[in-house]
Amino acid sequence: MMKSLASLFLWRINILILPLVSLGQTSEYVYDTWKAESYNGARIYDKPPQCVDIPDDFRLCHGVGYNQMLLPNLLEHETMAEVKQQAGSWVPLVHKNCHPGTQVFLCSLFAPVCLERPIYPCRWLCENVRDGCTPIMEAFGFPWPEMLTCEKFPQDDVCISAPNATEASDATGHPPVCPPCDNEMKTDVILEHMCASEFAIKTKIKEVKQENRDRKVILQKKKKTIKLGSLKKKDLKKLTLYLKNGADCPCSQLDNTGNTYLMMGRKVEKQYLITGIHKWDKSSREFKKTMKKLKSHKCPAFENVFK
């Protein structure tokens, strides 16, 4: 059954994802049956790989261009529940549009296309996505994870690439808008910022200063806790936030200090970084909807992904 499915997808790849597959120097390539050994000697799986449907609630990869994927995947996730939990943490990064190949790169690993042999993303695609997205991730206090080290991906073999993703990343390393200041008043965006945060408060800004490459945000004394997380009450009174690498990128919220804001953050080393800042707008139906939904919203486990 597995062989017939794989043969079907070998045919489908010519129609659906042939533009995504790059051929390196190797002119002869044999699709050997996948015997559960992954690239660079990863562990052997307990279960043989199966071709399964990509669920509708698999937000990262649903609609990526094909409808079925191999499980276990190429990141050693053996169940769909584990795949969805881990992949959910990456959805906000795709929404930030830090590189046009981000979704293709991630889904080639989280939801590999059904073939007899796994095809990994091209090393250059990994490097371009990494270079384009690392400034965004660092703004939220996350490093590029070791599980996505680009050197372990192929460069002279058949590999997954992405259309319109060959351009080099922005050499400045600065996004046009500071990522935490993305001011879309949309429920999904605010909840994604909330999930990337350890704490959230309702507060006003007293003063904003530049400190090295960061912006230092001094808050008013009056603060209301929305989500305390790892933040201790004794630290709340003297809480100072930083917009990481935000000295040069626009953030309209920090220019309008008279407003009340929903401010989210997380502690990275000795600094409390801003991971999201949205105007506290009671007149907005979307904002009121968000605050209501927040009470029952379950976040993906970021700590398990960004290591």
The DSSP string of 199-211 is EEEEEEEEEEEEE
What pTM value is reported for the model?
A: 0.69
Domains of the chain: 2-160 (1.10.2000.10), 179-297 (2.40.50.120)
Band (pLDDT 50/70/90 cuts) for residue 144 is very high
pLDDT tens digits for range 181-240: 876 678 887 887 788 788 999 999 999 999 998 999 999 999 999 988 878 888 888 899
Nearest to 199 by CA among 115, 282, 113, 263: 263
For residues 54 and 253, give the distance between their C-alpha atoms in angstroms, rounded to a whole number: 39
**What mean pLDDT comes out for the span 15-32?**
37
Share of the chain above pLDDT 70, in %: 77
Q: Exposure string (b/e) for 117-154, b if CB count within 10 Å is 16 or more?
A: ebbbbbbbbbbbbbbbbbbbbbbbbbebeeebebeebb
pLDDT tens digits for range 272-306: 999 889 999 989 888 888 888 888 887 766 444 44
For residues 99 and 105, give the distance between their C-alpha atoms in angstroms, rounded to a whole number: 10
Tell me how far apart the 2 most distant CA atoms of the chain are, in Å: 68
Query: Is residue 96 over pLDDT 70?
Result: yes
pLDDT tens digits for range 34-76: 333 444 444 445 567 899 999 998 989 988 888 999 999 999 8
Tokens of 132: 């384009």
Region of 164 please: left (phi>0), alpha (psi -120 to 50) or beta. left
